[in-house]
């Protein structure tokens, strides 16, 4: 592990400003933004599930569909 960190020293020196996370960006709530979340069903759900298999996104898409099903 120590050798990997040493080998990455140059990258680790310049990386923080490139990947800095903004923690104070004001964002609207979903309601304020006008989001209209609803369950995905029918042909759209079938297409999404097919793409999840094709692109190996099974767990992520399942969590998305589960969350939208609870709306």
Per-residue pLDDT of 48-71, as tens digits, reads 999 999 999 989 999 999 999 997
- Binned at pLDDT 50, 70 and 90, residue 18 comes out as confident
Cβ–Cβ < 8 Å for 64, 51: no
How far is the C-alpha of 71 from the C-alpha of 69, rounded, in Å? Answer: 6
How far is the C-alpha of 47 from the C-alpha of 52, rounded, in Å? Answer: 9
Q: Model pTM?
A: 0.55
């Amino acid at each position: 592990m120590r050798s990997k960190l040493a080998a990455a020293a140059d990258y680790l020196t310049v990386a923080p400003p490139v990947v800095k996370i903004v923690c104070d960006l004001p964002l609207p709530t979903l309601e304020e933004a006008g989001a209209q979340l609803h369950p995905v069903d029918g042909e759209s759900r079938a297409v999404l599930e097919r793409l999840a298999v094709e692109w190996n996104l099974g767990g992520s898409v399942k969590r998305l569909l589960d969350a939208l099903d609870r709306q």
